[in-house]
Chain A
Amino acid sequence: MEGGGSASTLSNDENLVVSCEDSSSPVGNELELELGLTLSLGRKGYRDCRVPYADDSSSSSSSSSSLSRASVIAGTKRTADSMAATSGQVVGWPPIRTYRMNSMVNQAKTLATEDPNLEIRQEVNKNRTDVTKLRNSMFVKVTMDGIPIGRKIDLNAHKCYESLSNTLEEMFLKPKTGSSTRESDGHMETPLKILPDGSSGLVLTYEDKEGDWMLVGDVPWGMFIGSVRRLRIMKTSEATGKAQMIL
């Protein structure tokens, strides 16, 4: 399902181990990534390497530092470890203890997942401080089929679908020169179309609060913002299959 090629039914931990072992990325690339992060430790170097974030299921030979690979190979099972690797942060940074990190992740999950007792949950949520609402930014992950490393985008920086679409085009369809950390598919030169009309071969979808994958653009922007959890740029062929599931 995802670009990394591993089954989406596996847990994150298993995913990482499987991805690591089955990784078909040439050794050269991995080494490049690791060296890229560890050697270019000057300000610029780190920031450049930091930009492409690992996706949930992508191989751990991502922009996470070499440390995370060693930890994975050593068989670590800690949630925070896999969380760190999957969210693309450098392992062990910021320096927050595993226990607290797990707590924060759980808090974020609790706030995001749906409760069977929807009414009570809504009532509680009104009273409880939603940590996401406290921030001025609203970052969601964006992945694109064929690219193992996902990005993050601040939806609050946009007021309409057009501006979102433009930003995504910038991010995914115009590879930066000299970047060795992303495999860009050179064929994707056509502008990204939000509405699937088949011409670009790509379609933008999002996962909503209920876990369903929807086509971006169908609902008013405000509603979209309120329910989106993450974005995915799919190939049209795949989207058709999914659309059948939704409809």
Chain B
Amino acid sequence: MNLRLPSKVLEHIISFIDSNEDRNSVSLVCKSWFETERKTRKRVFVGNCYAITPAAVARRFPEMRSLTLKGKPHFADYNLVPDGWGGYAWPWIEAMAKKSPSLEEIRLKRMVVTDECLELIAASFKDFKVLVLTSCEGFSTDGIAAIAATCRNLRVLELRECIVEDLGGDWLSYFPETSTSLVSLDFSCLDSEVKLSDLERLVSRSPDLKSLKLNPAVTVDGLESLLRRAPQLTELGTGSFSAELKPEAFSKLSEAFTNCKQLKCLSGLWDVLPEYLPALYSVCPGLTSLNLSYATVRMPDLVELLRRCSKLQKLWVMDLIEDKGLETVASCCKELRELRVFPSVPDLDATNVALTEQGLVFVSQGCPKLESVLYFCVQFTNAALITIARNRPNIKCFRLCVIEPFAPDYKTNEPLDKGFKAIAERCKYLQRLSVSGLLTDKAFKYIAKHAKKVRMLSVAFAGDSDLMLHHLLSGCESLKKLEIRDCPFGDTALLENASKLETMRSLWLSSCFVSFGACKLLSQKMPRLNVEVIDEHPPETRPESSPVERIYIYRTVAGPRLDMPEFVWTIHKNPEIGVSHLAIK
């Protein structure tokens, strides 16, 4: 019996499917479903900009309105990827300008974006609405000015933690003089001062503005003035507070905050003086998200603020909060879903010791909805990890950074194997995991077996041998991204589990003992993987068995990329390297 739905009906049904993962499954059913799905997909996500060519994407999704791209591997955030590696936005923008002129939204993460890219965006997409650049670099404020000036329907302009060549604050004055359609503006990563009067006028003529994130150059007075003009804000990133406290300034600010009755998210707060915090008290009961991770404020002041935030769902804070502060969070913030605790000093030696594993244990006990954790701590114990796992089996993202590499359970001196085993076993919905501290191969055996839903795993300074990698690559059913640094395994596990790599988006290995010969062999065996060796030394200068510095392996249908710098070596770019004589054991 041959049942076929009329394509209009199929189209209608598929239009209800938002999740791209589901849409990907839909497109595998049969040709007609593939065709229908591709013609209706509006939001396209490409997790690795080198996995597919821009032309192929434009061809497949003619109705694309929103494009999200990611470039450099995650470890680029920690300076492990040398500058010039790649991740250029230009080929994508160029292709879309020609083939998808109806594109309205572009979101880029960890990519190199030039002013030319931004100018091309401004010139090509008539109804451009959303530009979000996260951890991007390569452009200046001139490029931003082009967007501001030309994109008349711009709703969202967000520069999140980008490295921008800041040529001054003029860019802000390029927004149209008439009313703008701005809903969200984030320029928190820019250094130089924008003219307050420009900003005030912009805010005044943007009635739809809901999210405003200022840069540190905006002062308390500026903030107060802007809040008065935009009491409808739901998200605010303050400027800095480094001026001395003046009583009139404080009361004006307090009043301005009191009028912001819809404020849900608060961030910025650079250098906030504790004396200013009471100005925020009026908005605390309504806050769902609070980022105090740049506020160098002591625990008692933090507690005074946090105990008023009963609706808080997301809290980012520094270790200045100490265990005691987290105990308060556990008793007052019962809606908490996400907690991130960052170190307050970059120095390994001088980390605040009043924050221990106990702080996280408190929160795991007191906050029933806790599902996402990022925790930097000097040392940890298995007992704490087991308790946390028992308390919160609903955890989806668990990233623990024990700052001291190879640190064992400081009470028992054992590896943290048992603790992470408990996390992997009990947290059945775990999707993201970062491990640290002293770990043997056993830990990875447990993780491989139990962490069935983990998609992204980060490992550093752990394991004893190839077994650890073998466990991970032969288990971890849902693994999509694996990043490992400074672990003592060699070639064997990688070569034996080569086929697993095609089921993953990418694998990053650095400072391990994988040899150049193995990379060549892997590359020959698996033509649909790009195996990039990132190493300053040309391979001819060393024996094939010597370890390489960094390896980035990713699946791709685009073939070898054409924009590799000199320190990236592949068998395609460097064919003179020749066929490997290394036999597979």
Secondary structure of the B contact surface, majority rule: loop
* B207 sits at the interface (CB 8 A): no
Using an 8 Å CB-CB cutoff, how does the interface string of A154-174 with B read, 1 for contact, 0 for none? 100000000000000000000
* A43 sits at the interface (CB 8 A): yes
Known: A93-B78, A100-B342. A43 touches B438 (CB 8 A): yes
Which B residues from 246 to 301 make CB contacts under 8 A with A?
270-271, 273-275, 293-294, 296-298
What are the residues of chain B within 8 A of A47 when measuring CB–CB? 406
Indicate if the CB atoms of A94 and B376 lie closer than 8 Å.
yes
* B21 sits at the interface (CB 8 A): no
* A108 sits at the interface (CB 8 A): yes
* A219 sits at the interface (CB 8 A): no
* B582 sits at the interface (CB 8 A): no
Indicate if the CB atoms of B84 and A75 lie closer than 8 Å.
yes
- B79's contact among A91, A105, A152, by CB below 8 Å, is which? A91
CA distance A65 to B405 in the complex (A): 14
Which B residues from 315 to 360 make CB contacts under 8 A with A?
320, 342-353
CA distance A98 to B137 in the complex (A): 12
Indicate if the CB atoms of A135 and B296 lie closer than 8 Å.
no
Known: A70-B536, A87-B346. A127 touches B83 (CB 8 A): no
* B576 sits at the interface (CB 8 A): no
What are the residues of chain A within 8 A of B161 when measuring CB–CB? 97, 99
Shortest distance in angstroms between B277's beta carbon and chain A's nearest beta carbon? 11
Shortest distance in angstroms between B552's beta carbon and chain A's nearest beta carbon? 13
CA distance A139 to B458 in the complex (A): 30
Most buried by B among A84, A100, A105: A100
Using an 8 Å CB-CB cutoff, how does the interface string of B458-472 with A read, 1 for contact, 0 for none? 101100000000000
CA distance A116 to B349 in the complex (A): 31
Shortest distance in angstroms between A134's beta carbon and chain B's nearest beta carbon? 6
Shortest distance in angstroms between A9's beta carbon and chain B's nearest beta carbon? 24
Number of interface residues of B (CB under 8 A): 62
Indicate if the CB atoms of A93 and B347 lie closer than 8 Å.
no
Known: A66-B511, A120-B244, A135-B352. A97 touches B82 (CB 8 A): no
- A67's contact among B80, B351, B567, by CB below 8 Å, is which? B80
Indicate if the CB atoms of B345 and A108 lie closer than 8 Å.
yes
**A-B contact count, CB below 8 Å?**
159
- B348's contact among A42, A94, A104, A134, by CB below 8 Å, is which? A94
Which B residues from 40 to 97 make CB contacts under 8 A with A?
75, 77-80, 82-84
What are the residues of chain B within 8 A of A137 when measuring CB–CB? 349-350
What are the residues of chain A within 8 A of B347 when measuring CB–CB? 87, 89, 139
What are the residues of chain A within 8 A of B307 when measuring CB–CB? none
CA distance A67 to B551 in the complex (A): 12
* A136 sits at the interface (CB 8 A): yes
* B135 sits at the interface (CB 8 A): yes
* B498 sits at the interface (CB 8 A): no
What are the residues of chain B within 8 A of A46 when measuring CB–CB? 405-406, 461
Known: A67-B549, A123-B244. A89 touches B348 (CB 8 A): yes
* B25 sits at the interface (CB 8 A): no
Secondary structure of the A contact surface, majority rule: helix
* B401 sits at the interface (CB 8 A): yes
Shortest distance in angstroms between B466's beta carbon and chain A's nearest beta carbon? 14
- B296's contact among A65, A75, A98, A131, by CB below 8 Å, is which? A131
Shortest distance in angstroms between B174's beta carbon and chain A's nearest beta carbon? 25
* A177 sits at the interface (CB 8 A): no
- Closest A residue by C-beta to B566: A74
* A78 sits at the interface (CB 8 A): yes
* A101 sits at the interface (CB 8 A): yes
CA distance A76 to B161 in the complex (A): 17
Indicate if the CB atoms of A78 and B296 lie closer than 8 Å.
no
Using an 8 Å CB-CB cutoff, how does the interface string of A73-111 with B read, 1 for contact, 0 for none? 111111011011001011111111111110111011010
CA distance A104 to B350 in the complex (A): 13
Indicate if the CB atoms of A65 and B511 lie closer than 8 Å.
yes
Known: A104-B344, A128-B273, A134-B298. A75 touches B349 (CB 8 A): no
Interface residues of B (CB under 8 A from A): 75, 77-80, 82-84, 135, 161, 163, 189, 242, 244-245, 270-271, 273-275, 293-294, 296-298, 320, 342-353, 376, 401, 403, 405-406, 434, 438, 458, 460-461, 485-488, 510-511, 534-536, 547, 549-550, 565, 567
Apart from A92-B79, A127-B274, what 10 extra A-B contacts exist at CB < 8 Å? A43-B406, A74-B84, A95-B434, A98-B79, A101-B346, A135-B345, A135-B350, A135-B353, A139-B347, A139-B350
